[in-house]
Chain A
Amino acid sequence: MSESVNSVYDWQQIEIFARQILGKKAFRDICIFWQDKPDQQPNQGTKQPMRLYIINNGACPGTSPSSGSAVKCVKLCKRAVLPDYPKNTITGTKKSRINHRYCLILLVEYENGEFKVITLPRQLSALGSHYSDSVMAFCEMINPDDKTPIPQRRNTADFCEKLTLATEGNNFSAFDYMMTFPIDTFEPGIDSVDLENPSLQSTILLSDLRYESDVVEPYLAPTGDGSFIWTTAVDFILYENITIKLGVDQDIVVQGLSEL
């Protein structure tokens, strides 16, 4: 035997610190920005693109308003995720919940060649509500009467999704997407003892963000007090992959030789 090969008698006890992945779940092509299809049973909604009514360039509210310049196309500039999000919660009913808060920054091109950047939901308001200069678009997920968000929901047997708006004072600060699913869908299955482990940790990966935007039609939107403003209806939808892993820290002792 050559000298470079060490005998097992030279081996020593080495302690290694590692993170053991207990379970993993990957959700592909998850729609995180949608609105429920009307005429559906409550909580059984089918997802369809969110209809945004973007105010035309140069349009002003009035009883017989000027149409302004319609929207030609809408592009996603940035999706800004709020600090500390997305986050994971293990619920008392042995479910895992992912909370995801984000803002959308859209680049809007108008027929007259003008461009504008709009931030949603900060510049979003309810269809039919009072118009203010900061509003750039309307949608149907805000109640025009009390300005509260109307949650969009999709529930199947053991998988729940909800999209609503997070508020900050009187403003909408972010879209709040929530997904709840049973712990036993993790692969491999996670033992209940491991779930109680105080050092249990999670990591969430958001990847492959995609969107669809379609300019639909001009729309004369009500702005309250009998006045209207010309907008362009645009359908917008977002998809992405969400992967979550649960793990614990482990001290592992092995027999071997360190290269150092």
Chain B
Amino acid sequence: MKDFSCSDINTGWRPVTREDGLNTPIGEPLLPDDLGDKDQGQYGMLMVDTHIREILRMLGEIQREINSMKQLMIDMKNPGTAPKKKKKLKPHKNRLARKLTI
């Protein structure tokens, strides 16, 4: 093995390029890894599916936040009102609920 005397190469800090289908640089392949032709279609679907799932999850979280904020506003307007008691289930519904939980 021969050592080669040359200075180290340091790129310095640069913004990371992201390859997520939305921000693919020109001239760069869209697909990140060495996928075969057969895998490319599946990969596209997987990407879309993952994005949609993530967006839905975030929307769900936002909705829950809005609901809790709404409840907080109502409680602040009416400080005396206690949370409503849960309506007691009728006996047959109660039995059904117990069966489902088993």
Contacts and interface: CB of A to CB of B under 8 A. Distances in A.
Interface pairs A-B: 8 shortest CB-CB: A91-B32, A206-B9, A207-B8, A89-B17, A201-B13, A200-B16, A204-B11, A92-B20
Interface of A: 19, 43, 75-76, 78-79, 81, 86-93, 95, 97, 153, 155, 160, 162, 180, 199-213, 239, 246-247
Contacts of B19: 89-92, 97
A162 B34 contact: yes
Interface of B: 1-4, 6, 8-21, 28, 32-34, 47, 50
15 contacts: A43-B34, A81-B9, A87-B11, A90-B17, A90-B19, A91-B19, A92-B47, A180-B32, A200-B15, A201-B16, A203-B11, A205-B11, A208-B3, A209-B4, A246-B16
Chain A interface, DSSP helix/strand/loop, else mixed: strand
Contacts of B50: 92
A203 B32 contact: no
Chain B interface, DSSP helix/strand/loop, else mixed: loop
Contacts of A79: 4, 6
Given A209-B4, A212-B2, A90 B16 contact: yes
Contacts of B21: 92
A19 B13 contact: yes
Given A87-B11, A89-B32, A97-B32, A213 B17 contact: no
Residue among A78, A95, A199, A209 with the highest chain B CB neighbour number at 10 A: A209
A89 to B, nearest CB: 5
B22 to A, nearest CB: 9
A2 to B, nearest CB: 42
Contacts of A93: 32-33
Contacts of A239: 1
Contact of A180 (B13, B20, B33, B47): B33
A89 B28 contact: yes
B4 A211 contact: yes
Nearest to B47: A92
Nearest to B2: A211
